A and B are shown apart, each in its own frame.
Chain A
Amino acid sequence: MFDNIKILYHQGKQFIPNVKTVEVPGVFRGRPIISTVNVDNQVLVSVCPLGAIEVSPVRINLGKCNFCGECSFKFPEKVKFTKDYKLASNTPEGLIVTEGIDKPIQLDDSIIRPEIRKLFKGSLKLRQVSAAGDNSCELELNASNNVQFDVSRFGIEFVASPRHADGVVITGPISQNMATALQITYDAIPEPKMVILIGVDAISGGIFAGSPALDRSFIEKYKPDLYIPGNPVHPLSFINGLLSLLGK
């Protein structure tokens, strides 16, 4: 019993008191800023392995970006990745970062369904489905449950049964082999329900976009309520995305 208390004491304070303002360590690649410096646009577009960069004006689509940072290594004067981990949006357009504009990514409050904040603000239960995810976003979703990030302090929890869930959290580009299971899981969730896409693979297919082994018809059928970019999604991106959606 005393050694248990000793272990507890030795952990010190682990939880992150304020998940909205805490600074992440190191050289985290979060929201990019694009300067108005002129560079060879053709090379800039071609350096991106996922086709996330478009020109006139120069834009990075975070729904396609896997945050490898190659554009910023090639053109450090043009693209800079900041440590801003608040990357979530509820529209695909909201994920586009344009040159010369340095402002936080925010949700469009006007299109959030009223029932989401009314019903789920106090308690949100989610069913996660890994649909050909590579286990990186899955690891980070698990990490958001650990004692440091502790997402459950906001009443947000992952549940085992879709019947207990208020929404489905999808990771991975959605393979043909997983499409039916995803549909069955979604159907088992009672109304009203949400669809949340986690990570570049889920949002756009990522490096797997266009692979004949995928079946992304689910995304076309149901409009996602939240897109959280990242590869993998940082636990703080995930938590802040949900908090913005719930208006917390």
Chain B
Amino acid sequence: MNYIVAIKNNQTIPLKDIPEQSYTTFLETNINLLKDRDDRHCVNYFGFGVGDTVRLFCCIADDSMHQIYLSSCVINKGTTLNSFSKFNLNFEKFEREISENFGIRYTDHPWFKPVRYPFNRFDKSKSISEYPFYNVDSEELHEVGVGPVHAGIIEPGHFRFICNGEQIMHLEIQLGYQHRGIEQLFLQKKSLLERTILAESIAGDTTVGHTTAFANLWESLAGYQSPEDLQFSRTLALELERIAIHTGDLSALCTDIAYQLGSSVFGRLRTPIVNYFQEWSGNRLAKGLIRVGKTNFPYNDQLAKRLESVFVAYEPDFNEMCTKLFKLPSALSRFERTGVVTLDEVKSIGTVGMAARMSGLNRDIRLSHPHNLYTTFEHQPIIKHHGDVYSRAQIRREEIWQSINYIKSLISKVPEFKRVVEPDLKPQANAFALSLVEGWRGEICHCAITNDKGELALYKVKDPSFHNWLALAQAVRNNEISDFPICNKSFNLSYCGHDL
């Protein structure tokens, strides 16, 4: 008997082909898949509620085999179970989410707490103001509570520090304030355009990433092979988004160490990149650029020439500023050995994207499960080994260089954009589809299930931040509380992508 079925990224399979097992086998299968295998991790684990039962789906990505292993198990809502998390912390937040949505109780979960207080949670008796914080009864230690409203123009979340003097002993991050009910809205909104706009709004800083994941997934569900020009737009936009955000974050890192010159120069260098998005698509954050099965903004040689000139102006100023910043003793003394997360820790947490590559864990969907035009070239992920703020800053600098090179090679041969008739994109009935995209933060995973009429029955979104928030909490331990801002900015995790 098969316990799992293997699929490729962006593949749709009949729902009945996913093996169903007893919970004990389901647990053993998935734990064994991950045992001592760093090239495998859980990309999504969620429940699909039908009446009083829940069908759990576990998706384990195998980076060496370029496959995703699916398995499932049906249980009753409100049951008590043994947790996966006891054996592997990768599942920690997924199980909390399953519990929050379906009232499953885990007997041996190490950190059994709410995730985001969604409007459709199983137990509505508690609200977000009653989150059970970890606390220590001590005369020596004190607590610092920050948020949900922060001292800046950023999204809301609550940070509860337990400190010994200036030193952080423990940080607990409570999210959920941004919850808008996105997954439910995907089912309520019936038109493709409405759903595309929802995907654009999952996280506005990753507009291209999430919309590409949605578009790839929907085209797969409908059995439509999108032409090269659409693949080209999405790949180009993903790399541009990476450059824009990394540049902005280098600026923010400089702001947080009070380095005015770096803050201003990187801040202004972000503008030509986002303005280029506007020249191409009419929106500085590329909202409206990615559409399923079509594009409203065909790319052409004129736009390519324009982008070359943007880089001609960008590169010398960027390089000059980087040379200065990465040699500046006062900056390095704040970056180096601050906010360290070790390789063992990132493996245990199961971080993805930049938050894995900073500590030597090679996790990059562009290489392991390539999508769009990443299938056509060999991507070399940028890997650092110290897991500190400096490593994260280096990754941003080097990924910008790398993205510029990729883009230059992409736009050297712009495919012909044909005005095609919009394809009829009707999803297959009783199907399961999974789409992985490497956004600038890391791996984005969208999953969809359709019913017997081919209508959407479940839409599941996972932003890389869902894995990575715990790494931030780990990073600040034993650091001074004044270093929290640079630790936070060096990760720049998404609140709305997490809260949905």
Which A residues are within 8 Å of any B CB, using their own CB? 3-4, 6-8, 10-11, 14, 24-29, 49-50, 66-70, 73, 81, 127-143, 146-148, 158, 160-162, 172-173, 175-178, 180-181, 185, 201, 206-208, 211-214, 231-232, 234
* Contact between B180 and A211, CB atoms less than 8 A apart: yes
- Shortest distance in angstroms between A200's beta carbon and chain B's nearest beta carbon? 10
* Stretch of B145-153, B425-433, B445-453 contacting A (4+ beta carbons < 8 Å): B145-153
- Contact status A211-B198, CB under 8 Å: no
- Contact flag A147-B268 (CB < 8 Å), given A69-B296, A73-B296, A135-B494: yes
Whether the Cβ atoms of A132 and B496 lie closer than 8 Å is: yes
Q: With an 8 A cutoff between CB atoms, is B203 at the interface? A: yes
Complex interface: chain B residues within 8 A of A206 (CB): 201
Q: Are B129 and A134 in contact (CB under 8 A)?
A: no
Question: 1/0 per position for B408-426, CB-CB distance to A under 8 A?
Answer: 0000000000000000000
Q: Is the CB of B155 within 8 A of A133?
A: yes
Out of B179, B285, B288, name the residue touching A175 (CB < 8 Å).
Answer: B179
Do residues A8 and B261 form an inter-chain contact, with CB atoms below 8 A?
Answer: yes
B267 to chain A, nearest CB (A): 4
Question: Is B324 interfacial (CB-CB < 8 Å)?
Answer: yes
Interface residue B264 (Cβ < 8 Å from any Cβ of A): yes
Given contacts A49-B191, A181-B156, contact A213 B180 (CB under 8 A): yes
Task: Determine if B179 and A132 form an interchain contact, defined as CB atoms under 8 angstroms apart.
Answer: yes
Q: Which residues of A contact B21 (CB under 8 A)?
A: none
**B297 to chain A: closest residue by CB:** A27
Contact A11 B180 (CB under 8 A): no
Give the complex CA separation of A121 and B320 in angstroms: 40
Contact status of A133 and B265, CB under 8 A, knowing A139-B285, A175-B179, A178-B148: no
By Cβ-Cβ distance, the 4 closest A-B pairs, closest first, are A136-B204, A26-B279, A160-B151, A213-B181
Residues of B whose CB lies within 8 Å of any CB of A are 116-120, 127-129, 148-149, 151-156, 176-181, 184-185, 189, 191, 193-194, 197-198, 201-205, 207, 248, 261, 264-265, 267-268, 270-271, 274-276, 278-285, 287-288, 296, 316-317, 320-321, 324, 494-496, 499
Closest to B285 in A: A136
Q: A181 to B148, Cβ gap below 8 A?
A: yes
**In the complex, are the beta carbons of A3 and B296 less than 8 A apart?**
no
Known: A136-B287, A147-B264; 4 extra A-B contacts, CB below 8 A, are A132-B496, A140-B284, A173-B180, A181-B177
Contacts of A234 in B (CB 8 A): 284
Cα–Cα distance between A210 and B238 once the two chains are bound (Å): 31
- Bound together, the chains give a CA A4 to CA B330 distance in angstroms of 14
CA distance A172 to B182 in the complex (A): 13
Contact A7 B268 (CB under 8 A): no
Q: How far does the alpha carbon of A135 sit from the alpha carbon of B495 in the complex, in Å? A: 9
Contact A134 B248, CB 8 Å, known A49-B197, A139-B204: no
Q: Which residues of A contact B156 (CB under 8 A)?
A: 129-131, 178, 181
CA distance A158 to B177 in the complex (A): 21
Separation of A172 and B281 alpha carbons in the complex (Å)? 23
B296/A158 in contact, CB under 8 A: no
6 contacts between A and B (CB under 8 A): A138-B204, A147-B264, A147-B267, A147-B268, A212-B119, A232-B285
